[in-house]
Amino acid sequence: MRYWLMKSEPSDVSIDDLAAMPNKTVAWYGVRNYQARNFMRDQMDAGDKVLFYHSSCDEPGIAGLAVVSKKAYPDETQFDRKNKYFDPKATRENPRWMNVDVKFVKKTRLVSIKELREHPELANLRILQKGNRLSITPVDPKEYQFILGLL
């Protein structure tokens, strides 16, 4: 089992939106960074634990817990010419972009990025590293357990 931090803009899909979705599940669509795609395609597995992170909002931070419920498969938005995530180089025979399904576990109190920075135990957490803008990052099991203690 692996642990991940996955960012979502609450204006797109918030933790409350995820909780209200059918089966409390969403396809993690729209990832257009190769490293983040590779994490989903090559390393994520059903059962992996997810820290659901609100980004690009007034107070970014961890807003809940989720789990990967389905392994990587082609992201349908890459094929839809009307979708902002359309990729003209992607084909059904050779898809470029993948997504996994993520299922709601629970909403937590918001643990802000400011609060995360206050804990030396989280000094190596990727989201806290300068220049890190990835929407999906692995989390060390010890960091994950420490964060659970903050929730």
For 12, the token pair is 């797109």
Amino acid occupying residue 17: D
Write down all domains in the chain, each with its CATH number in brackets: 3-141 (3.10.590.10)
Q: Which of 45, 29, 59, 58 is nearest to 135 (CA)?
A: 29
For residue 19, what pLDDT is reported? 98
Global pTM reads: 0.94
Is residue 142 pLDDT above 90, yes or no? yes
Instruction: Give 89's pLDDT tier (boundaries 50, 70, 90).
Output: very high
**How far is residue 83's CA from residue 127's CA, in Å, rounded to a whole number?**
28
Q: Name the pLDDT band for 57 (thresholds 50, 70, 90).
A: very high
pLDDT at 145: 97
d(CA 16, CA 81): 29
Are residues 62 and 51 in contact, defined by beta-carbon separation less than 8 angstroms?
yes
Q: For a pLDDT cut of 70, what percent of the chain falls above it?
A: 100
